[in-house]
Amino acid sequence: MEQMAEGIDPATLDRLLDLVAKEGMVEREKLKPDATFEELGIQSADMVVVLMAIEEEFGVYIPVDGDLADAETVGDFLKVLAARMKEDAA
Amino acid sequence: MTNQTRRIVVTGMGAITAAGRGVESLWTAVRDGRSGVSDIRFDRYPRQRITKAAHIKGFEPSDHLTPQQIKTTDRFAQLALVAAEEALRNAGIDTATPLGPRTGAIIGSGIGGAWTTDDGNYNFYVANDRTDLMTIAKVMPNAAASQISMRYGVRGPSLAISSACASGTQSVGYGLQMIRAGIIDAALVGGSEALLTPSTFRAWEVLRVMAPEACRPFSDKRNGMVLGEGAAVLMIEELEHALARGATPLAEIAGYGTTSDAADLLRPTVEGPAGSIAAALQDAGLAPDEIDYVNAHGTGTILNDISETRALRQVFGDRLSSLSVSSTKPIHGHALGAAGAIELVVTVEALRAQIAPPTINWLAPDPKCDLDPVPNEARAHSMSAAISNSFAFGGINATLALRAFR
C-alpha cells in the first residue's frame, strides 16, 4: 500500500485507511491498492461520508470533482489524497 | 395515438433568476453569455468553503406583493408569484378575472420553503425568538402552487411535483399530460427554488460538488456546479383554446419523457437519461434527426457531463457531432427544482430567436464530452425542434421536447 501513497507518512496512511474502512463500511483488509470502489461496494453516498470524515480529521476540504473524479481504486484515491494534503500543508 | 389529438402550446412565460427579473433579462443574459454568478456570504455561517452562487440580488417582495401575501409566503413562493404574474400578462390574460376550474397550477420545488425552515430553526434553537406563525404554510412544497391558485383563481388541480432537480421539467410534463387527457384546458406550470440559506449551502458543500471558481459544463478542467435560485412559470394551453381567445403561441410542447435509474442515489447512469430523451422524442413523434438544439442538464460536474454526453450519443448517434448542445447553468446557476422550468423558457426563446445560446466558461474540449457545446459564443442557425433535459438526485430523469410554432 505504501508505494501507492507516496507523500503520506505511514501513521497518516494508517489513520486514512481506518477512516475509509469505518465510514465506507468495509473490512480494512480488503482495502488493497488495486481494489475498486465498485468491488468494495462503496457507493457515492459512502464516499461523501468518507470525505467528510477526512475534512473533520485532517482539515482538508476535498471536492469530488477534479482529480478525485477519475479515482476508481483505493490506490487512485490515496494518490489524490496525498497530493491534496501536501498542497494544504505547503 | 389519441394523446396526440390535443396539441399543447406555450402562450406566456415569466422568470426571475440571478440573470435578472423577466424573461427578456434571462434570455439576453443567456444569449450574450452574461453570468449572474457572484460571491455570496452568510452572516450566520462564517466558515464557508465555497463562495460562488447565482443568487438574486435586490429582490424586494413589497415591489410585487401585498402585505398579506408577504406575511404568508416564503421566498420560493414569492419568486413563483412574480414569475406567474409575468407569464399571465405575457399570455394576454386579464389577471383580475379568476382562471376557473379548467385551469391548473403545477409548480415544482425540490425543497420548498428553505429560508423559513432555516430561520425557524435558528430562532427556535439559538435565538429563542417566537416561531413564525405561518411556518407550516410557508414551508410546504406546494405553497407556490397554492399561492398562485389563490391569487389567480385557479380552481382546477394545483400541486407541487417534488423530484429534486427534475421538479420543474416534470411539472411541465404532467401539466402537458393533464391537458392532453382533457382534465383541464390550460395550466400555469413551472418550478421555484430559493435555498441559498446558510445551512442548506453547507449541506451542498458537504456533497463536495460545487465549483470553487466557475461552472464550465462539458469543458476540460471543469470542477463542479454553481447553485442558483429563481422561478419560472409558463402558461400552457390546448391549441384551440389558445387560438380561440386570440393568444399567440410561442412554441409547442410536443413531448415529455421520464425514467428512473433505480441505481445510485447521487451518481447518474447512461441508460436512464438516454431512456428519458428517447421517450420524449417518441411522445413528440420526433425523430432524432429533427432535433436542432439541446438545452442540456449540463451541471458542470465531471460525472453528469460525461453520462449526459453518453446518453445523447446513444440517442443521436453520429448526429450528435453536428448538434448544438449547450448548458446555460453558468449564467443562471443550477436552480434545482426551478432549473427545468427556467431552461425550458430559455429553450423556447432559443427557438423563437433561432439562436443557440452558448456554454460559457468553456476552456477546451474534454474527450469524454465529445459533443458540440456551442462554446462561449451564441450561434444563429435554423431550428425547428429542441429538447431540454433535467436529471435529478434519486436517479430521476426528465426531458421535454419542443417544436417551433409556425
Residues A64, B209: C-beta atoms closer than 8 Å? yes
For an interface test with A, give the residue of B208, B213, B307 to mutate (most A CBs within 10 A): B208
A89 contacts: CB under 8 Å, gap ≥ 6:
none
The angle that helices B75-90 and B114-122 make with each other, rounded to 10 degrees, is 160
Residue-wise pLDDT tens digits, B169-201: 999 999 999 999 999 999 999 999 999 999 999
Check if CATH label 1.10.1200.10 holds for domain A2-89. Answer: yes
* E strand intervals along B249-382: 251-260, 293-295, 324-326, 355-356, 379-380
Q: Is the dihedral of CA B87, B89, B90, B91 positive or negative?
A: positive
Question: What is the architecture, at CATH level 2, of domain B255-404?
Answer: 3-Layer(aba) Sandwich (3.40)
Active site amino acids of B: 165, 297, 334
B7-244 and B255-404 agree in CATH topology: yes
Segment B369-374 shows an average pLDDT of 98
pLDDT of residue B167 exceeding 50: yes
Residue-wise pLDDT tens digits, B305-329: 999 999 999 999 999 999 999 999 9
Q: Residue A51: which of B208, B224, B265 has the nearest Cβ?
A: B208
Q: Where are the domains of chain B?
A: 7-244, 255-404
Residues A65, B264: C-beta atoms closer than 8 Å? no
pLDDT of residue B102 exceeding 50: yes
Query: Measuring CA to CA, which residue among B173, B171, B150 is closest to residue B159?
Result: B171
The whole-angstrom distance between A49's CA and the closest CA on chain B is: 9
Q: Where are the domains of chain A?
A: 2-89
Q: Which amino acid is located at B281 in the chain?
A: L
Give the mean pLDDT of chain B. Answer: 97
* pLDDT value of position A65: 85
Residues B265, A66: C-beta atoms closer than 8 Å? no
Residues of B with CB under 8 A from a CB of A: 49, 205-212, 222-224, 264-267, 301-303
The ipTM (two decimal places) reads: 0.74
Q: Count other Cβ atoms within 10 Å, centred on residue B135.
A: 17
* pLDDT value of position B1: 41
Q: Which residue of B has its CA nearest to A61?
A: B49
Residues B210, A64: C-beta atoms closer than 8 Å? no
For an interface test with A, give the residue of B215, B221, B302, B307 to mutate (most A CBs within 10 A): B302
Residues on chain B touching A63 (C-beta within 8 angstroms): 208-210, 212, 223-224
Q: Is the dihedral of CA B5, B173, B400, B83 positive or negative?
A: positive
CATH homologous superfamily of B7-244 equals: Thiolase/Chalcone synthase (3.40.47.10)
Give Cα separations from B301 to A66, B267, B268, B305 (angstroms). Answer: 9, 11, 11, 6
Residues on chain B touching A62 (C-beta within 8 angstroms): 208
Residue-wise pLDDT tens digits, B72-89: 999 999 999 999 999 999
CB burial class (10 A; 0-12, 13-18, 19+) of residue A89?
A: exposed
Query: Who has greater pLDDT, B6 or A86?
Result: B6
Residues of A with CB under 8 A from a CB of B: 43-45, 48, 51-52, 61-66, 69-70
